[in-house]
């Protein structure tokens, strides 16, 4: 039965003559997507094709045409920002009509609203608390300590990440498959999950994952059939934004709700599904027609953002993915510039080239606000940041702090500072219990109190107090070990290369290992950043000189004009657009990411290719792609092979840049490693049996070979000068013949 608000809305909807003039502003496929109101509809909205416009216009059309009133529409977005934008647009389209109280919001906000009404069915009260990630970690830590799990070896934060992933998949504690249970937390993590859930109920709380999980549990329980029936009667239409990014739990929740009217419209782009690492399942959008029989697929292919050369180039790359529904983007904005591709000696040369290209754009009166540098991973930003500072180009890092402001970099610099200058109390305070050494606030307060009373530094205070009984014996031993390490590292400053010393400090202190064993999603990136920090130190004469450089960099970052180059990751750039986009680091292993391919195989490679597609389609007028023939990573120089994504670019759409003095150090089927000599593309199916490398050695399929990085392996395929090799310890890799010798 409808409440008074719903009746009034229904009367208003039917009595007012609808103004449908907004339909005239849509192109033909957009209008079809807006007017196809009944049944299941999937709107495949390519990059820049007006996705948000279609979604909001469809919602407004449902109301204006009298098909439904606000309380009968469930409209789901992924972010609060997207929900707010939709509310503002719809309100504007409907003459300023208020939209508060509508079922329009994020998955979590809408699920929370439902759960408030049915909390008792999962053992909660309607006034339950939604805890934040910090509370999650604290609560699980208490449980782990009671169960005797070593919280230093298995951090609560990493265990919570695993539990969150299970919730994203809609799994209750007793539904976790045996294949998911490893030695993490001594094999106790399913039990910890169960106890964690019980503890949440005891304190009348849930975390964000529970909001959907509890509602799925309620909907699936036959005893609660009346609850699901109630929502089936309530919602005549369901609209979903960014459907390609849904995880399993979100998918299950939507499917259960859509079983009522069957009127569900999902808008998304399978080619832009790039969040598999956080639970998104591209399969949800790919199997839409299977899930909803008789579903209508509408493709939005007219792009309003980019030139045709950009669209054709990105399309040529994404066409290599097998798992996709397919579409062809086009634009009426002309062909525009070709994609500029450049190979450089190393990362430093790449940063110089990008800086020079940006300065040339400035000479054409192009604002820095219209320029973006999109990197595959966070550690790449350092060289660009430093280069831009030298050139006086203002920039901002979006989606995270600047390189030298990141937590792990600040911690590492604190270690280096205290080695160079033992009385640096601010640095000492930062690292005294990082990683955890069992030094609590009581000990630190004692040290500070003594230091202030004697007018000495923390370092001297520790030296004095470790010779007395003021501190516990265990604490004294820990602090003495720390001072011994600092003295040892300090004694090596004159005899050891400073970058090697930095690596030793991070390893011997346990700081690097702390992040290596951390299972949280951001931990691998922190390890990469620390390795990049050490790599970048080699160009300076000493550790003090490097620290002085960092101090000047941090000072310069505060003085900037109103225009900024945007630096961000490819993941963070989705949904944004810039006139000029630089895409550096297109090398095998870096992009596509070797870690992603090792962990997920073909599925990981296809997501990397979708990321390349997203990167290129951020550009409105010009796209610049670059790669280095060698790059300093993990403390040593790595010879690089151009990304396979460069091979997939059509030659007639590419303008190769030239750097004087470049020497060819490797080949690909399409480009040599310097990027300057186009070569005929090899067919995707190679039948070659042997190849001669630059050393004159004949390599044949089946040969046992050796690679400096990957070790021993066997050649299984030859494609020009690219070899597919199965290594004993590294699995299957594609490498250039120049880096292989017969084993």
pLDDT level of residue 570 (50, 70, 90 thresholds):
very high
Q: According to the model, what pLDDT value does residue 554 have?
A: 67
The per-residue pLDDT for 334 is 95
User: How far lies 385's CA from each of 356, 389, 397, 672, 708, in Å?
Assistant: 14, 6, 9, 28, 31
- The token duo for 155 is 């951090």
Whole-structure pTM value: 0.75
CATH classification of 318-400+564-677, choosing from 3.60.20.10, 3.40.50.300, 3.40.50.970, 3.40.50.450? 3.40.50.300
Specify the fold of 129-203: Arc Repressor Mutant, subunit A (1.10.10)
The percent of residues in the chain predicted with pLDDT above 90, rounded, is 49
Nearest C-alpha neighbor of 114 from the set 5, 43, 217, 41? 217
- Residues serving a catalytic function are 51-52, 241-242, 272, 618
- Which of 5-9, 264-268, 452-456, 520-524 reaches the highest mean pLDDT? 264-268
Query: Which H, E and C letters describe 571-599, residue by residue?
Result: HHHCCCCEEEEEECCCECECCCEHHHHHH
- For the 4-115+214-302 domain, the top CATH level (class) is alpha beta
pLDDT in tens, 477-533: 999 999 999 999 999 998 898 989 999 999 999 999 999 888 777 888 899 889 889
Residue 17's pLDDT band, with cuts at 50, 70 and 90, is low
Q: 573 or 400: which carries more pLDDT confidence?
A: 573
Name, of 404-418, 459-473, 556-570, the range with top average pLDDT: 404-418
More confident residue, 669 or 31: 31
**Helix count and strand count (H, E) for the chain:** 28, 24
If you average pLDDT over every residue of the chain, what do you get?
86
Q: What is the pLDDT of residue 673?
A: 37
Q: pLDDT tier at 449 (50, 70, 90 boundaries)?
A: confident
Phi and psi at 155, nearest 5°, equal -70, 140
Domain residue ranges in the chain = 4-115+214-302, 129-203, 318-400+564-677, 404-553, 682-743
* Length, in residues, of the chain: 743
Does the pLDDT value for residue 38 go beyond 80? Answer: yes
CATH numeric code, 404-553: 1.10.486.10
Most confident of 266-270, 321-325, 377-381, 424-428: 266-270
pLDDT at 555: 60
Tokens, residue 727: 């290594």
Q: Are 240 and 542 in contact (CB under 8 A)?
A: no
* pLDDT for residue 634: 62
- CATH topology of 4-115+214-302 equal to that of 318-400+564-677? yes
Q: What is the pLDDT of residue 687?
A: 38
Q: Average pLDDT in the 212-231 region?
A: 96
The pLDDT value given to residue 14: 44
Question: What are the helix (H) ranges across 319-346?
Answer: none
pLDDT tens track for 644-695: 999 999 999 999 875 533 433 333 434 443 333 333 333 333 334 567 776 6
* pLDDT tens sequence across 389-423: 889 899 998 877 788 888 999 999 999 999 998 88
In this structure, the strands spanning 630-633 and 636-639 are antiparallel
Question: Would you place residue 697 in the very low, low, confident or very high pLDDT band (cuts 50, 70, 90)?
Answer: confident
Residue 619's SS3 state is strand
pLDDT digits (tens, 9 = 90+) for 76-117: 998 878 888 887 887 777 666 666 678 998 999 999 999 999
Q: Which residue has the tokens 């934060």?
A: 157
Burial of 174 (0-12, 13-18, 19+ CB in 10 A): exposed
Residue 731 has pLDDT above 90, yes or no: no
Which range, 450-454, 660-664, 726-730, 738-742, is most confident? 450-454
Give the pLDDT band (50/70/90) at residue 635.
Answer: low
Angle, CA of 297, 301 and 306, to the nearest 5°: 155
**Which residues, in sequence order, are CB contacts of 347 under 8 Å at separation 6+?**
380, 383, 585, 628, 631, 632
Q: Which is more confident, 99 or 265?
A: 265
How high is the pLDDT of residue 741? 83
The pLDDT assigned to 454 comes to 83
Q: Report, at the CATH architecture level, how domain 682-743 is classified.
A: Roll (2.30)
What is the spatial distance between Cα 514 and Cα 509, in angstroms, rounded to a whole number? 9
pLDDT of residue 183: 74
Q: Which of 582, 648, 570, 585 is nearest to 275 (CA)?
A: 570
CA distances in angstroms from 416 to 8, 509, 545, 657, listed in the order given: 69, 11, 11, 40
Could you report the per-residue pLDDT of 282-316, keeping only the tens digit for each? 999 999 999 999 999 999 999 999 999 999 999 99
Question: Rounded to an integer, what distance in angstroms lies between the CA atom of residue 224 and that of residue 238?
Answer: 22
């Amino acid at each position: 039965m409808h409440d008074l608000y719903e009746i009034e809305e229904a009367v208003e909807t039917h009595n007012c003559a609808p103004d449908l003039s907004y339909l005239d502003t849509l192109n033909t496929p957009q209008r079809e997507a807006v007017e196809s109101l009944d049944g299941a509809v999937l709107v495949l909205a390519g990059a820049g094709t007006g996705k948000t416009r279609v979604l909001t216009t469809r919602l407004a059309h449902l109301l204006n045409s009298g098909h439904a009133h606000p309380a009968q529409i469930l409209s789901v977005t992924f972010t609060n920002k997207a929900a707010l934008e939709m509310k503002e647009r719809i309100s504007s389209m409907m003459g300023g009509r208020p939209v508060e109280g509508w079922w329009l919001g994020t998955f979590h906000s809408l699920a929370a609203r439902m759960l408030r009404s049915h909390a008792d069915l999962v053992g909660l009260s309607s006034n339950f608390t939604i805890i934040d990630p910090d509370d999650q970690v604290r609560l699980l830590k208490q449980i782990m300590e009671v169960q005797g799990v070593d919280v230093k070896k298995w951090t609560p934060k990493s265990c919570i990440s695993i539990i969150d992933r299970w919730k994203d998949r809609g799994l209750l504690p007793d539904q976790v498959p045996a294949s998911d249970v490893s030695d993490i937390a001594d094999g106790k993590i399913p039990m910890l999950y169960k106890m964690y859930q019980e503890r949440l109920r005891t304190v009348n709380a849930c975390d964000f994952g529970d909001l959907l999980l509890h509602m799925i549990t309620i909907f699936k329980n036959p005893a609660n059939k009346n609850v699901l029936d109630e929502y089936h009667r309530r919602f005549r239409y369901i609209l979903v934004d960014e459907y390609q990014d849904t995880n399993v739990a979100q998918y299950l929740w939507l499917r259960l709700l859509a079983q009522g009217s069957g009127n569900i419209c999902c808008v998304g782009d399978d080619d832009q599904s790039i969040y598999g690492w956080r639970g998104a399942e591209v399969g949800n959008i790919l199997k839409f027609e299977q899930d909803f029989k008789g579903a209508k697929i509408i493709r939005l292919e007219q792009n309003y953002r980019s030139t045709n050369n950009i669209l054709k180039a990105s399309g040529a790359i994404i066409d290599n993915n097998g798992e996709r529904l397919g579409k062809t983007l086009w634009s009426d904005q002309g062909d525009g510039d070709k994609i500029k591709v450049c190979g450089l000696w190393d990362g430093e040369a790449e940063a110089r080239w990008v800086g020079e290209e940006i300065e040339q754009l400035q000479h054409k009166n192009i604002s820095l606000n219209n320029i973006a540098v999109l990197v595959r991973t966070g550690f790449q930003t350092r060289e660009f940041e430093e280069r831009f500072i030298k050139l006086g180009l203002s920039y901002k890092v979006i989606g995270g702090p600047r390189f030298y402001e990141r937590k792990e970099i600040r911690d590492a610099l604190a270690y280096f500072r205290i080695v160079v200058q033992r009385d640096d109390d601010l640095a000492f305070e930062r690292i005294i219990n990082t990683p955890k050494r069992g030094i609590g606030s009581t000990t630190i307060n004692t040290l500070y109190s003594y230091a202030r009373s004697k007018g000495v530094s923390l370092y001297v205070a520790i030296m004095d107090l470790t010779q007395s009984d003021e501190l516990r014996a265990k604490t004294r031993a820990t602090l003495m070990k720390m001072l011994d390490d600092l003295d040892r590292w300090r004694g090596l400053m004159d005899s050891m290369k400073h970058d090697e010393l930095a690596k030793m400090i991070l390893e011997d202190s346990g700081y690097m290992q702390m992040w290596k064993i951390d299972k949280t999603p951001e931990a691998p990136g922190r390890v990469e950043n620390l390795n990049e920090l050490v790599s970048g130190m080699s160009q300076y004469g000493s550790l003090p000189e490097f620290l002085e450089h960092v101090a000047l960099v941090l000072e310069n970052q505060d003085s900037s004009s109103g225009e900024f180059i945007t630096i961000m990751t490819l993941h963070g750039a989705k949904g944004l657009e810039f006139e000029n986009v630089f895409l550096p680091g297109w090398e095998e292993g870096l992009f596509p990411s070797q870690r992603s391919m090792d962990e997920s195989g073909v599925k990981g490679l296809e997501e990397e290719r979708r990321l390349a597609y997203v990167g290129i389609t951020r550009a409105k007028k010009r796209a610049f792609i670059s790669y280095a023939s060698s790059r300093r990573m993990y403390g040593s120089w790595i010879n690089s092979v151009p990304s396979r994504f460069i091979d997939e670019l059509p030659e007639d759409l590419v303008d190769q840049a030239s750097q004087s003095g470049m020497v060819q150090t490797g080949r690909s089927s399409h480009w040599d490693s310097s990027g300057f000599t186009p070569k005929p593309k090899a067919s995707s199916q190679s039948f070659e049996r042997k190849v001669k490398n630059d050393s004159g050695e004949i390599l044949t399929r089946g040969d046992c070979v050796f690679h400096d990085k990957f070790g021993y392996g066997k050649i299984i395929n030859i494609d020009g000068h690219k070899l597919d090799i199965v290594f004993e310890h590294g699995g299957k890799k594609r490498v250039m013949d120049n880096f292989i010798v017969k084993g």
